[in-house]
A and B are shown apart, each in its own frame.
Chain A
Amino acid sequence: MNFQRARLLYRLISHNQRLQERRHPMFEKNMAMKVFGYIFVAFWALYFITFGVSFFYIFDGGPLEAFDMVDGGLIIFLTLDFLTRFGMQETPAQDIKPYKLLPIPQNFLLNVFLVRMGLRAYNLFWFFFFVPFGILAIPQFYGLWGLVGYLLGIWLVFVLNSYWYLLWRTFINRNMLAFIPPVLLYAAGIYFGLVDDEYTRQILGANHLQPLFYGCLYLMRWFAQWDIRGVLTVFAAILPLFFANRYFQGKSIYFEISKAEVVKNVKSNQMTWLDKFGEIGEYLKLEIKSTQRNAAIRKQFVTGVICMTLFCSIFAFTDIYDNDFMRIYICTYCFACLGVMTLTMVMCPEGNYIDGLMARKESVLSLLKAKYYFNFIMLLVPLLFSLMPVFKGKLTVVDVLGCMFFTSGVVFPFLFQLAVYNDNTVHLNAKLTKSGTSTKAQMIFSLAGLFVPMIVMYTLMACFTEDIAAWCMFIIGVVGTALHPWWLRNVYNRFMARRYKNMDGFRNSR
C-alpha cells in the first residue's frame, strides 16, 4: 500500500471513529453526563496538579533529587494507570468488524487502530501531575529542553503502558483469569523494585539496589538529558508490544466474529403464588424475572442491595454514626439507597418493549404499581437490620418506622416522577454499563433523592425535638404511602400526556 493511500485510509477511519462517538443516539441526552464527566476530570486534574506540586516539595532537599524519587517510583503510577484504563479503554478488535470485508489489509487496519490508541489524549492525563512537578523539578538541572525531553519520556512510558494494557485486556476478554498475571507482575515490580526489607535483601543480596527504582530513575534522566538511550529503551519495549498486540488482536477478531452467545436453558417459572394479586401480580412477576434474567438490571439491583446491606451493617453493628442527626439520617439512607439506585431508571428497561405495554389499557399504571410494591417489599431488608439498633437502644421503633415510611411515602413518590420524564432505553442484557447514559433529570432526581430527606430532617429536628421529628416523619410517610394509588395515577396520567415524546425517545435509544 502506498503512502498516499495509507494516509487517506487512516484519515477516513479516524473520521469514522470520531463520528461513532458523536452520533451515538444518546449524545443529546448525554450532554449533562458529559458536563459531569468534564467536571470530574477537572476535579482529578486539580488533584493531580496539587499532588505534582506537593511531591516536589516533599522530596526536595532529600538524598536524591525530587525527580529521581518520583521517577524511581514510576511503577506505582503505571500500576494506577493500568487499573484505571479498564473503565476507559476497549480493544480495537470489535471496532474493526465493519471494515473486515473491505479491500483493506487487516494488518493495516490494526496498525491504524493501534496507532490511534497510542495517540489518544488519555495517555497525556498524567501530565496533570508531571507537568507541574517537572516545571518545579527539572529546569534547574537540565534546562527547559530537559523539561521537554522529560515530558516526552513520560508520554512514551504511558503509551508503552497503554499497549501493555491492551495486550492483557485482549486476553482478559477471552478469559477473566488473565487479570491475574499483570496484577502479580505489578505487585512484584512494586515489592522487589521499591521495597528494601529483610526478604528482598535475602532474595536480591544484602547490598542490592532496588533494580526497578534505579532503572526507571536512569531512564527518565536519559530523557531529560536527551540521551538517545532513553528513546531506544522505550521503543525497544513499545515495538514488540505493538506487534504482539497486532498479532493477538488479529486473532481476537476471529474470536469476536465467531463468538456465539451461550444460550442457557431457562425453565418457565409461573410464580403462581403471585397469581392472587391479579394483574399487579403479573407485573410483579415481570419485575422479579427482569431482575433475575437481565444482566444490566441484575447488576444494578445487586449493587443497590450490597450498598443497602453495607449501610445497614455499619449502622447496626458499629457506633460510627451515633450523634442524633446522623443516626436518623443514615437510617433513612439505609432504606432509601436501593430505591434511589433502581428507581432513578424507572421505565428505562421497559423502553425495550414499550410498544407492547402501550398496546394494552393502563398496563403502564399496573407496572408502576408493581414497581412500587416491589420496592416497598425490599424495605423489609433494612427494617430487619434496623431492629439491631432498636434492641441496642440507639433508635426507637418510631424512628425506624418513620424512616421506612418516609422512604415509601416521600422519597419513592419523588423518584417515581422520573417515570414521566425518563425516555432513554436501558439495554437489558448489556454486560458493560455504557458510560454516560444518565440524563440530566435522572442525575438531579437521584441527588435530590439522597439529599431531600436530609434537608427535611434538618428542618424537623431544628424545629422540634428528636421524638417529635421522628413522629412527623412517620406521619408524613404513612400519609404518602396511603396515598400511593392517587399519586401513581397522577404519574401515569402525566406519563400518558407525554407518551409520544417518551416513546420516540425509547425507540431512538434502543
Chain B
Amino acid sequence: MDIIVENVKKTFGDKVALDIDKYIVHSGEVIGLVGNNGAGKTTLFRIMLDLLKADSGTVCLGECISSQSEDWKAYTGAFIDNGFLIDYLTPEEYFRFLAKVIGINDEQLNERVNRFESFMNGEVLGQDKLIRNLSAGNQQKVGIIGAMLANPQILLLDEPFNFLDPSSQMAMKYILEQYNKETGATIFVSSHNLTHTFDICTRVTLLEHGKIIKDYDKDYAELTSEIEEYFKGNAF
C-alpha cells in the first residue's frame, strides 16, 4: 500500500519539527528514515499514526487519510515506544489480547508468534513475568511482534534495533526482509544504525530539522558513502 505525506507541517513553539511538501512511499518499499536527534523522525511517525496533530497537511495510508478515518488501523502495524505496551500483562496475555482485538484465532496466533521463535530467543514466552519486568530489549521484541501480529500491509517501526543484542538485531533484519518479500508490505523503519538501515532498506530518506534533505533509492555504494559523509560532516 502507498503512503502519501502531503504538505505536512508541525511546529512546537518557534521550532519547526516537521515540514514536508510531498513524500510518496510506494507499495512494497522498505524505507529507512535516518537523521540526527531532533530531525523529526518520531514526529513524522506520530503524525502518520494520528497520534499527533499536524499543523497542516495530510497523511494517506493506503486509501485513508489517517486523521479522518480509523479504517487504516486494520492494515497498519506500528511500534514506537513503550506507550504501545500494556505492561501489566505477560507477553502471552498481550499477544492473546491483540489476537482477539484483530480477530485471529488461537491457532493462527500460535502460528504467527512461532515465526518469531528465534527472535525471542527463549526469553519472552514462558518467563512468567509481566512485560514491565522484562528487559528493555525483550520489551522491544514484544512491541515489534505485537505490531506484526495482524500481518499489516503497512508496518512502522521507530528505532527497532534499539536495546536489542547483536543476535536479535540480525534476527530483526532477517524478519523484516522476509516479511517484505512474503507479504509485499510497505515497511517504514527509523534508525540511528546506518549499517542495518542500508542492509534492509530499498530506499533511505534523510531528515534534517524536519525537512527531507535527501531521498536515496539509488545504488548501494553511492547511498552509503553520501549518507556517511553527511553524518561525518555533522560530527566534526
Chain A residues near B (Cβ < 8 Å): 261, 263, 265-270, 275, 278-279, 281-282, 285-286, 289-290, 293-294, 352-356, 358-363, 366, 428-429, 499-500, 503-504, 507, 510
Contact = CB atoms under 8 A, between A and B. Distances in A.
Interface centre among A265, A268, A285, A289 (most CB of B within 10 A): A268
A500 B71 contact: no
B52 A500 contact: yes
Given A269-B93, A429-B132, A500-B53, A286 B86 contact: yes
Interface stretch (B33-41, B94-102, B219-227): B94-102
A225 B134 CA distance: 64
Interface string B80-107: 1111111111101100110011100000
CB-based closest 10 A-B pairs = A355-B83, A500-B53, A356-B84, A265-B128, A361-B70, A361-B73, A293-B88, A268-B92, A282-B100, A263-B133
A359 B84 CA distance: 8
Contacts of B85: 353, 356
Contacts of A355: 49, 51, 80-81, 83-84
Contacts of B80: 355
Contact of B73 (A268, A278, A281, A359): A359
Given A359-B73, A359-B78, A507-B83, A279 B128 contact: no
A356 B101 contact: no
Interface of B: 49-53, 70-71, 73-74, 76, 78, 80-90, 92-93, 96-97, 100-102, 128-130, 132-133, 146
Contacts of A290: 88
Given A267-B128, A290-B88, A359-B73, 19 more contacts: A261-B133, A266-B129, A268-B90, A270-B93, A286-B86, A286-B89, A289-B88, A289-B89, A352-B83, A353-B84, A353-B86, A354-B83, A356-B85, A360-B101, A361-B74, A366-B101, A428-B88, A429-B88, A500-B52
Contacts of A263: 129, 133
Contacts of B83: 352-356, 507, 510
Nearest to B67: A500
Nearest to A500: B53
22 contacts: A263-B133, A265-B128, A266-B129, A268-B128, A270-B96, A279-B101, A286-B89, A289-B89, A294-B88, A352-B83, A353-B83, A353-B84, A353-B85, A355-B51, A355-B81, A356-B146, A359-B49, A360-B101, A428-B87, A429-B132, A500-B52, A504-B52
Contacts, number: 88
B51 A361 contact: no
A278 B93 contact: no
Contacts of A261: 133
Contact of B97 (A285, A361, A510): A285
